[in-house]
């Protein structure tokens, strides 16, 4: 896409030499400047073909097949692609964990990247609008919340800390706790049997006690209302490694390490894959940034061509 833009600028040079020179230099700087694109992780993503998005961009806004609203690429209220973006041409990503996204009621639907996760990993992602969220207490030994704080731990330490959460209950062993609510009498329902082979010095099995991750989708100034909700108290909190956001709607006055929701989900999964599953990362979750990377390039190019860069 950037290469095409460079070629277009060369053609425009005949008509508007000064304007085209500015565009060309701008795009070249994006490719060459270490502070922008060279170190930009979006450049290295292994993505499915984005031709379907290119076509949709040219045809303009289209109807949502469910609510008939006019949208670009996808409907952010129904969580489905628009008519010009066939579902079969959108990649799907299988995640190693279930993800709950708790969306602040004042978060603008059209500005949120949380919908990207639902579109691309529909079987593993659920979006809730606060205050309508699940009760997590009885499952807190297998759930973690992504949120930085004084008690947050790193991804690699999840198994150790979840084990402590399990043992806080009245259960005599980890197996007893695997299906039981904490600090309550055991229920009479039969427990799901574990495969005896799963516990044999397997790096993958070490992380299987974690089954769900919760993300909060809101501006940082709005997170306090959600993070202090009693239903989220007592959950293990995880802090991600420091990474810089590529989000074009960066919150004013906040550091560039404050990630958008889809970036946070992506980076967590990459860390989880490497540090908990102990497997080399080969782009398994890159397509979570399928829409994000495409929109990033569009907006970056548009700003550049408008002389805002």
Query: What average pLDDT does the segment 161-169 reach?
Result: 71
Are 117 and 59 part of one and the same domain? Answer: no
Does 26 or 294 have the greater pLDDT score? 294
Backbone angles phi, psi at 54, to 5 degrees: -60, -45
Is 13 within a domain? no
Q: What is the distance between the alpha carbons of residues 180 and 175, in angstroms, rounded to a whole number?
A: 9
Q: Are 165 and 236 in contact (CB under 8 A)?
A: yes
* Domain final residue pick, 56, 83, 110: 83
User: What's the pLDDT at 219?
Assistant: 81
Are 134 and 99 part of one and the same domain? Answer: yes
The total number of structural domains that make up the chain: 2
Average pLDDT, the chain: 77
User: What's the pLDDT at 254?
Assistant: 60
Is 32 within a domain? no
Q: Which domain holds residue 154?
A: 91-165+208-247+254-308
Are 264 and 303 part of one and the same domain? Answer: yes
For 117: left if phi > 0, alpha if psi spans -120 to 50, otherwise beta; the answer is alpha
Are 68 and 160 part of one and the same domain? Answer: no
245 — pLDDT class (breaks 50, 70, 90)? confident
Lowest mean pLDDT among 65-74, 141-150, 206-215: 206-215
Eight-state DSSP code of residue 294: H
- Percentage of the chain with pLDDT > 90? 52
- Percentage of the chain with pLDDT > 70? 68
- The H-or-E segment that residue 299 falls in is helix 290-305
Res. 146: pLDDT tops 80: yes
Query: What average pLDDT does the segment 94-109 reach?
Result: 93
Is 104 within a domain? yes
Res. 26: pLDDT tops 70: no
pTM > 0.85: no
Is 178 within a domain? no
Q: What is the distance between the alpha carbons of residues 94 and 21, in angstroms, rounded to a whole number?
A: 44
Is 11 within a domain? no
Is 25 within a domain? no
């Amino acid at each position: 896409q950037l290469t095409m833009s460079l070629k277009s600028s060369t053609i425009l040079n005949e008509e508007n030499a000064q304007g085209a020179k500015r565009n060309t230099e701008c795009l070249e700087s994006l490719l060459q400047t270490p502070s922008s694109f060279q170190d930009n992780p979006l450049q290295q993503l292994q993505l499915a073909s984005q031709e379907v998005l290119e076509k949709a961009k040219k045809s303009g806004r289209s109807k949502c097949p469910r609510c008939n609203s006019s949208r670009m690429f996808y409907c952010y209220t129904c969580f489905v692609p628009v008519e010009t973006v066939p579902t079969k041409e959108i990649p799907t990503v299988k995640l190693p964990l279930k993800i709950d996204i708790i969306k602040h009621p004042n978060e603008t639907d059209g500005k949120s990247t949380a919908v990207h996760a639902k579109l691309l990993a529909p079987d593993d992602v659920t979006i809730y609008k606060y205050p309508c969220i699940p009760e997590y207490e009885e499952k807190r030994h297998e759930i973690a919340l992504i949120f930085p704080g004084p008690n947050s731990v790193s991804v690699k330490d999840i198994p150790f800390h979840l084990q402590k959460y399990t043992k806080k209950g009245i259960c005599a062993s980890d197996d007893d706790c695997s299906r039981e609510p904490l600090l309550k009498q055991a229920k009479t329902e039969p427990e799901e049997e574990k495969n005896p082979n799963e516990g044999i010095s397997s790096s993958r099995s070490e992380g299987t006690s974690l089954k769900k991750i919760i993300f909060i989708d809101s501006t940082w100034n709005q997170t306090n209302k959600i993070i202090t909700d009693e239903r989220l108290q007592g959950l293990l909190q995880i802090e991600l490694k420091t990474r810089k956001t590529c989000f074009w709607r960066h919150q004013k006055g906040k550091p560039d390490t404050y990630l958008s929701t889809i970036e946070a989900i992506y980076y967590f999964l990459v860390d989880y894959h490497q540090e908990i599953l102990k497997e080399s990362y080969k782009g398994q979750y890159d397509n979570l940034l399928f829409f994000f990377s495409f929109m990033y390039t569009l907006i970056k190019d548009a700003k550049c061509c408008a002389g805002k860069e």
